[in-house]
Structure 1
Amino acid sequence: MKKKFYILLATLFTLVLTIGIYYSGVDAQYESTPAKKNAQKEKDVKVETCYGCHDQIKELHTMGKHAKVNCSNCHKGLDAHLKGPGPDTRPVTDTSWEACGQCHKEQYNSFMQTAYHRPARDEKSQLTNRAPNPFWDKLMAGHGFTKEHNLTRSHPWMLVDHLIVDRSYGGRFQGKNGWEYLFETGKAWDILQDNYPDATDHKAFIPQSAAAANPVCLQCKSQDQILKWSYMGDPVTGAEWSRTSKVTELVKDLQHGLNCIYCHDSHAAKPRIVRDGLIDALTRPDGDTLWHKDPNRTGIKVIDMGVRGFTRKIALLDKYDTRLLCGQCHVEYNCNPGYDPKNPDTSKYSVTMADRRTNHFPYKDVFGLYDHYVNKVSFLDFKHGLTGGLLWKAQHPESEAYYNSKHAKAGAGCNDCHTPKVKDKKTGKVYTSHFAVTPKVQLKETCLKCHPKWTEEQAKYAIDSIKAHIRGKMRKAEFRLSVLIDKILEAKKAGVDAEIIKQAQDQHLKAHILWEFWTAENSDGFHNPQMAREALTKSVDEALKGIEILTNAMAPKPAAAATPAK
């Protein structure tokens, strides 16, 4: 018996040691293997020759630190294009992380780090997470996010995690090596495989999954398609991909999550935004966004890059403003078909991917969203599976939540807490870490720089206390929303007038928006606790109004007073 025990103990020790070595090796592979230049170097070209056709590039390339960087660093096949310019000889543009990493090694190595402070595929609906069941599945009944809705993971896996999540492609794409995909880095299609390569339908392939992905939601996962996508994703001549493309075909053209080129203009070496929905919001004639109302807003310069025969825009920023840079993805936007609330027919989508409303950024805080979507844009995301009422689904509105917060007004940017300046331990070089992660992982470099009297333990305590307070308010809002849903079902069964039901459903929508914004916002309200508390308590109030409307409608009518005898 003792012998068996020692054999088992030795086996377990060996297994743990092996796993530890494997994990450590995976985590360190990008540190020990710096980005390398291609073995076969592209021949340099005379940049003035390229300027002859690419006048926008000339303006950008000559203004910044990349002025002496040759086109051959990021473009391949230049010789053939110079000899016979045209669509058939277009050079290949390198949109990989390594294209920038060959010069910006510290930024590259930090970007490729993995945060192990929480597991991958950790659903928000778990009991201890942001939107626990049973309320989550009830309040969001009918929406694909009930199939799988996870907490965030490190940036390099944005595309891979999107492709593999149960709600997006119905389980079609899986890791070539099973769960080892969690540790595999590199191109998406070196890690994943299509288990149904002959399928032409975008549908659910495995039980309890959904095929909810579409071309627009990919725009904040990768920009490998940047040169093939027209402004706003309009289906126009010359653009290979659009809002109406088959998403399962588009994804095969993508390899990298969160390219460097989202935030860094590769020609000008200046901060920029490329998300067309955000550029559209910032250039709306009515000037109704948080940015428009900011007297100290960062200036932008919109440039049409449409040299391929269709409009394609970028916007250079006057300075680094992470509210806009990070706000390309960490933002509320609509990226799916849905319903026009003015259309009484809810048997099918009345707003399809052909409509520009399926690529739309409000860029407003939580209090402006009901009016924006219902009265201005006339769009709602889904039909509730129990009540039949139309509801809104938030994306990840960190930028809007943070915009006018106490920290933002004090001058802190997203970078101060998530990608701070750090010093290389070997060289002493100070650089911007691109390891985007919660400040709780690097408190000395983040919180303690502004709060020097705190210890790391106190900083963590402050963060956790604020988040706990807001989570408590979320639970109260969820309870009242659940009661309102039950009351709507009860009223329908009791035959309450349709107009009264409609009033209650409108209250449901108002309360839902004020709550669900914070389940999608990835800080548990820490980015703006004052706004979070106000919105969530107001959600309770709006739900109570709906409950009162239906309670009064179903209350027994008082008996008519008897006529007094004469």
Structure 2
Amino acid sequence: KPARTEKSLLTERAPNPFWDKLMMGHGFTKEHANPRSHAFMLVDHLIVDRAYGGRFQAKNGWGYVSMPGPVKAWDVLDDRYPDSNEHKAFLPESAPAANPTCLQCKTQDKILQWKYMGDKDDRAKWNRGSNVVEFVRELNTAMNCFMCHDPHAAKPRIVRDGLIQALTRPEKDTLWHKDAKATKIDVKEFRGGYRKIALLEKYDAKLQCGQCHVEYNCNPGFDPKTGEYSIKAADQRTNHFPFKDVLQIYDHYNGLGFRDFKHTLTGGLLWKAQHPEAETFWGSTHDKVGASCDSCHMPKVRNAKGKVYTSHWQTSPRNYLRQTCLTSKCHPKLTEAQANYEIDSVRNFTKGKMRKAEFWLSALIDKIVEGKKAGLPPDVIKEAQEQHQKAHVLWEWWTAENSDGFHNPALARESLT
């Protein structure tokens, strides 16, 4: 995919003018780009306008976008303000929205210097509240092998603390808990709770990819009861995985007592999704027949010598349809043209529903603004703002989810109509 392709482009997932209006007040309006390969995700995160205020820039201009991966961040980027560790906007139309918890999905370079859940500890150099500029200066590598492969036991594993916490919380309320066929996990605790990992009984991409391709909260935010921006990095809610689907997420965050941002026009508190692919795929048609993330994104392929191996390109199945969609186990009677046609049809249908949702959400925002100007009672405005949040959640999920509904077309339709 081309680098820095904004989701708000007319041809992309959340086109303007609706995107900036519906998300007004959130840093993602500064730049919200489609993801590239995992090899570039740390570099792309550091340079995006919404994250570090323009502090980090490519050493050799736009040439960095065509470099072959994997790339090390500081071979490609410069810190334009090396004498300052202040996390602020340096360039117009940028934002300093990044934080140390957000980086746990991009790299685990400092896994041994980060306590479970990012809590403060004298043994840990870094925590949720650390200065993120100082933190990223010590990071260099995107997506480490040991995030999914245990180097000691030679077993599949997960290391992402927020996911491990979700899978072990006493409520037992996640999609994984409610799945009778869910892969069993064995949580290992080290040094009195300083670190935890979870070994898996078998490779399970829904859990391993679900360390990052998942909805999670990684930032400070608002208490919906008080309306105050009072939930800071010291609160564990700033490193939280619901691990639930789009129809459950409103109730979950209400129970948690968290909202991400205040909408500039309505004054209401809203949620911002991250990339919830794992939860979207869970329970889908493909999931029910035994397909998993790796079936489509990490197929078995042959090298030049004929040796079979698992591709770690982790790209769209469109790039190797014969090894994914068109195998004897899946859709052997389809041609590549037919497969692409079906994929486009599903995605375009979902995007059409998203455009309709954006029209009505925009109209709702206008009415709330009109109501405030007309002097409607505060309780009426508050109820309208809450209804806005309910509707917003069902739309925003799909702007962050990266399949345009293809991972679960039925769920997309149900939540968008």
Correspondent of 1:404 among 283, 293, 303 = 283
CA distance in 1, matches of 2:275, 2:369: 30
Contact 1:298 1:321 in 2 (8 A): yes
Partner residue, 2:187: 302
Query: Partners of 1:305 and 1:320 in 2: how far apart?
Result: 22
The alignment status of 1:358 with 2:238, answered yes or no, reads yes
1:442 alignment partner in structure 2: 320
SS in 2 for 1:302: strand
Name the residue aligned to 1:259: 144
Helix, strand or coil at the partner of 2:407: coil
Amino acid aligned to 2:47:
I
> Residue 457 of structure 1 aligns to which amino acid in structure 2?
A
User: Equivalents in 1 of 2:175, 2:404: separation in Å?
Assistant: 21
Return the match for 1:429 from 307, 314, 317. 307
* 8 Å Cα contact 1:229/1:240 also seen in 2: yes
Q: Bigger radius of gyration, 1 or 2?
A: 1
Residue 108 of structure 2 is aligned to residue 223 of structure 1: yes
Q: Per-residue deviation at 1:154?
A: 0.6
Alpha-carbon distance in structure 2 between the residues aligned to 1:311 and 1:238: 8
Q: Give the TM-score taking structure 2 as reference length.
A: 0.98
Matches for 1:509-528 after TM superposition, within 5 Å? 509-528=389-408
Find the partner of 2:33 among 147, 150, 171: 150
For 2:266, the equivalent position in structure 1 comes to 387
For the Cα contact (< 8 Å) 1:273–1:328, is it kept in 2?
A: yes
Kept in 1: contact 2:85–2:134 (CA 8 A): no
For 1:105-120, list aligned pairs within 5 A: 118-120=1-3
Distance 1:304 1:167 in 2: 36
Cα offset, 1:441, TM superposition:
1.2
Render the CA deviation track for 1:26-62: whole Å, top value 9, x for unaligned.
xxxxxxxxxxxxxxxxxxxxxxxxxxxxxxxxxxxxx
Count how many residue pairs are aligned between Structure 1 and Structure 2.
413
Which of 212, 219, 227 in structure 2 is aligned with 1:336?
Answer: 219
Which residue pairs with 1:502 in the alignment? Answer: 382
Matches of 1:370 and 1:455, distance apart in 2: 41
Q: C-alpha deviations, 1:52-80, integer Å up to 9, x for none?
A: xxxxxxxxxxxxxxxxxxxxxxxxxxxxx
SS in 1 for 2:57: strand
Aligned to 1:25: none
Q: Distance in 1 between matches of 2:46 and 2:9?
A: 21
Matched to 1:386, the amino acid is: L
Aligned residue number for residue 90 of structure 1:
none
After TM superposition, the score normalised by the length of structure 1 is: 0.72
Mapping for residues 84-99 of structure 1, pairs under 5 Å: none
Matching residue within 180, 184, 187 for 2:72: 187
Q: Residue deviations 1:286-328, cap 9 Å, x none?
A: 100000000111000000133xx76111000001110000000
Residue number among 113, 130, 145 corresponding to 1:245 in the alignment: 130
Tell me whether 1:326 sits opposite 2:203 in the alignment.
Answer: no
Deviation of residue 427 (structure 1)? Answer: 1.3
The superposition leaves residues 346-375 of structure 1 with CA deviations (integer Å, 9 ceiling, x where unpaired) of: 3xx21000100000000000011111101x
Say whether 1:467 aligns with 2:352.
Answer: no
Q: Return the offset for 1:183.
A: 3.0
1:183 corresponds to which letter in structure 2?
A: S
- Give the AA of the match of 1:466: V
Does the residue aligned with 2:323 lie in a helix, a strand or coil? Answer: coil
Contact 1:484–1:508 (8 Å) recurs in 2:
yes
Separation in 2 of the partners of 1:183 and 1:458?
A: 31
Work out which of the residue numbers 337, 344, 348 in structure 2 matches 1:457: 337
Which amino acid letter does the alignment assign opposite residue 339 of structure 1? Answer: F
Residue identity opposite 1:532 in structure 2: A
Are the counterparts in 1 of residues 114 and 125 from structure 2 also a CA contact under 8 Å?
Answer: yes
Given the alignment of the two structures, is residue 175 of structure 1 paired with residue 58 of structure 2, yes or no?
Answer: yes
- Counterpart residue identity of residue 446, structure 1: T
- 1:201 deviation in Å? 1.3
Residues 264, 256 of structure 1: alpha-carbon distance in 2 compared, 3 angstrom cutoff: same
- Determine the C-alpha separation between the residues in 2 that align with 1:226 and 1:292: 27
Contact 1:381 1:393 in 2 (8 A): yes
Work out the CA distance in 2 between the residues paired with 1:522 and 1:236: 36
Q: CA deviation at 1:265?
A: 0.6
| One-letter identity of the residue aligned with 2:73 | A
Decide whether the 8 Å contact of 1:154 with 1:437 is kept in 2: yes
Q: Distance in 1 between matches of 2:288 and 2:350?
A: 21
**Corresponding letter in the other structure for 2:41:** M
| 1:198 Cα deviation after fit | 1.1
**In the aligned structure 1, how far is the partner of 2:259 from the partner of 2:7?**
23
CA deviation map 1:259-297 (0-9, x unaligned): 111111111111100000000000000100000000111
In the alignment, residue 354 of structure 1 is paired with which amino acid? A
Structure with higher helix content: 1
Alpha-carbon separation, structure 1, partners of 2:84 and 2:413 = 47
- Secondary structure of the structure 1 residue equivalent to 2:259: coil
Q: Percent identity?
A: 66
**Partner of residue 491, structure 1:** 371
User: How much does 1:408 deviate?
Assistant: 0.3
State whether residues 231 and 276 of structure 1, in contact with CA within 8 Å, keep that contact through their aligned partners in structure 2.
Answer: yes
Match of 2:248 among 368, 381, 394: 368
- Give the distance between the partners of 1:367 and 1:187, measured in 2 at CA: 39
Aligned equivalents of 2:318, 2:230: Cα separation in 1: 44
Q: Which secondary structure does the structure 2 equivalent of 1:253 belong to? A: coil
Q: Give the partner amino acid of 2:307.
A: K
Query: For structure 1, which runs of at least 5 residues remain unmatched after alignment?
Result: 1-117, 538-566
Aligned partners of 1:230, 1:208: CA distance in 2, in Å? 34
> In the alignment, which residue of structure 2 is the partner of 1:534?
414
Local SS of the residue matching 1:503: helix
- Equivalent residue for 1:312? 195
Maintained 8 Å contact 1:236/1:310: no
CA distance in 2 between counterparts of 1:367 and 1:453 reads 35
Residue 295 of structure 2 is aligned to residue 419 of structure 1: no
Distance in 1 between residues matched to 2:36 and 2:75, nearest whole Å: 19
Question: Which AA in structure 1 matches 2:406?
Answer: F
The alignment status of 1:199 with 2:84, answered yes or no, reads yes
Quote the Cα distance in structure 2 between the aligned partners of 1:311 and 1:518.
36
